Chains A and B, each alone.
Chain A
Amino acid sequence: MPVPKADRPTGRVLLRNVVELRLRDAIVAGELQPDEDLVESEVERWAGASRTPVREALDRLAAFGLVVIEPQRGTRVAPLDVSRSRQAFSVLGELVTDLFGPVVPHLTSTQRAAVITCAQRIQTPTDVLTRGGLFDSIIAVIGNPRLRQVHDELAPYVLRTWNVSPSTAPPLKDLNVRAWIDAVTASDALAAESVLRTWLTSVDSHADQQNSGSA
């Protein structure tokens, strides 16, 4: 098989990322619905890309649980899995809570202002998790690329569940934003951690009650 070599890998790697982000955003927004068939030729036309980048993008999305690839049945958008989404949010919440604490006393004024601005804007649960939201900004100031990687895998999965089925989003009533902002302003790491942990614990127990109620 004669393979044209010049420059192909470069273009392909970039295109794969572009296709992945476009598909991901469409799935997260619910434009591509749970269980919807993804016919590769249609995706190629939709994304304006050829087979290889589309395949690679689908492989990656499958690894994050947003797409299901089955040998005989083809590729489709993953069905909603509320319990998995709760588990993902629970893990992500612990990461943000535990890894932000030690950084709090070391924040620059710009970093402190950035996270506080995001906290002040919180109106809905989505504002905690969306791009440019609270968790995103906390992770930006923590500065751990490996944490960023976990976030980028888990956050889209959870957001998609909340977008498609808003009643599964956690209530905000136990998130004391005012106390968290005060803690960050005062460089009080323990208090900042405690505010988030209180909220996450209430979200987890809320989920447990719903699970046992439906069982």
Chain B
Amino acid sequence: MPLPQTTTADTGKRSFLRDTAYEMLFSAIQSGQLAPGEVLRDEELMDWLGMSRTPIRSALLRLAGYGLVEMAAGRQTTVAELSPSRTNRALSVSAVFNEYAIRRVVGRLTAAQRDALEAARLEIKAAAAADDPPRLARAVSASFGVLCAATDNRVLDEQVARIDIELARFLQPTAADIDRPSMLSAVDRVLIAALDQDREAAIAAVRALYEPTRVNFLAQYRDPEIH
């Protein structure tokens, strides 16, 4: 397990060690320093992060909750593989979160919310023009974030934040074989309909955006517990 060389765990007075461990492991996974499939050994992580096992285990459990790390009984702990099935399934769920928000807020967005949405839309265009995929991923998720925040549903916010972390990793340029221009124009149709306060059009547009996800799920990625 070749570990990233930066070893300065900045343990601020107020932050828990487990939060520091989480932040360092998280950014190492996001940046690819810790590669998909790589084995994570407690002892090596203890050396690298300069802390005991307990905060490291806590951080690993949290990362496992986000699907970034695999911890199964009787197996080694590893960085989760990037797989099309996981991406598709997470996208299916993310689609519903977005539709949930659209159903409840489009038609009654405040002027401030529409301004925020318009700003997010411009940022998507800027990120696309700059050909900066991580920035683009952040911008797309921020635009749906405006709609989700407008629902005033804390549970939705938490779930969206978590699944966006997973999807940002899945949708890295190396992992993605998506048709970016057509995806972006589908996103734009959702945002325009939302800005127009046209609820039915926005619902139809978000369903169209995720239609490939739906089709692929049914054809390839469905894994029923009852047959």
Q: Which residues of A contact B (CB under 8 A)?
A: 1, 3, 9-10, 13-14, 17, 52, 55-56, 59-60, 63, 84, 87-88, 90-91, 94-95, 98-99, 102-103, 106, 108, 110-111, 114, 137, 139-148, 150, 154
Contact = CB atoms under 8 A, between A and B. Distances in A.
B73 A13 contact: yes
Q: Per DSSP, are chain B's interface residues mostly helix, strand or loop, or mixed?
A: helix
Contacts of A147: 89, 92-93
Contacts of A14: 73
A206 B57 CA distance: 43
Contacts of B227: 108, 110-111
A99 B155 contact: no
A103 B224 CA distance: 10
Interface residues of B, number: 43
B61 interface: yes
B72 interface: yes
Contacts of B48: none
A40 B111 CA distance: 50
B58 interface: yes
Contacts of A142: 222, 224
Contacts of A106: 218, 222
Interface in B20-46: 42-43
Given A87-B155, A99-B96, A110-B226, A145 B89 contact: yes
B222 A95 contact: no
Contacts, number: 106
A141 B156 CA distance: 24
A140 B100 contact: no
A95 B96 CA distance: 6
B8 interface: no
B90 interface: yes
A10 B76 CA distance: 9
B165 interface: no
Contacts of A146: 67, 86, 89-90, 92-93, 163
Contact of A1 (B52, B67, B221): B52
Task: Please give me the 8 A-B residue pairs with the lowest Cβ-Cβ distance, nearest first.
Answer: A143-B224, A140-B225, A146-B89, A87-B155, A143-B222, A94-B100, A143-B223, A87-B153
A56 B57 contact: yes
Contacts of A103: 218, 222
B42 A94 contact: no
Contacts of A91: 97, 100, 153, 155-156, 159
Contacts of A145: 89, 223
